[in-house]
Amino acid sequence: MKKQWCIPRVGPEFVWRMEDLLDLYAEPFDPRRPWVCFDERPCQLLDDVREPLPSKPTRPKRVDYEYKRKGSCNLFVLVQPQEGWRRVEVTERRTAVDFAHQMQTLVDEVYPEAEVVRVVLDNLNIHGGGALYEAFHPEEARRIVRKLEFHYTPKHGSWLNMAEIELSVLSRQCLDRRIGDIDTLKQEIDAWEHDRNMERTTINWRFTTTDARTKLHRLYDQN
């Protein structure tokens, strides 16, 4: 049976935020006003109970089904799809303060010469200027916030954030195995990030505002 997608009832707010992001994605890269996509995901640390049997010329590596949990951590990802650049940081937690430090790094280390950095992100409660004031003194928080412009995905529209694509690639290429400690996880992700940045791997986003008005006309008809 062919799968039928259920489109939730949405209003003008969804359409406005969707078109805002699609127009942003259509802009050529401007180093004075760059845009980046930001997202995060939890990551479970898992270790083997029994030592895996190494692969041989006629036999693949064998891993026992049983595993043990070694805790969890968080992955923050920043990606600029047009430049083919991404940055993934492993943290122990995902708090407002952790988010604030990600924004500080973005402003001060990644794009220090930019007039403003436009950030695509979802509506998680820690994603906002208030997190900066929780983490820093008001003067420092205001300095950073003045260089940021947040563009939020609509509710039920997280697929519009290209950082989700990057996290999906990371999961398939790097996290599709058991990693039992945070130091090893950092090393593996750093190597993956380095290779993708050296290759300047981009994301070819083809969905435009015109496409949305044609293919998702039911969303507009509900308004």
Residue 177, pLDDT score = 84
Residue 11, pLDDT score = 80
Q: How many CB atoms lie within 10 A of CB 4?
A: 6
Residue 64, pLDDT score = 56
Distance CA 42, CA 203 (A): 23
Residue 70 has pLDDT above 80, yes or no: no
Residue 6 has pLDDT above 60, yes or no: no
Query: Contact, 157 vs 17, CB < 8 A?
Result: yes
Among candidate residues 5, 162, 196, the one with its CA nearest the CA of residue 78? 162
Residue 110, pLDDT score = 96
What's the pTM? 0.86
Q: What is the pLDDT confidence band of residue 176, given thresholds at 50, 70 and 90?
A: confident
Q: CA-CA distances (angstroms) from residue 11 to 8, 29, 38, 118, 221?
A: 10, 30, 25, 24, 9
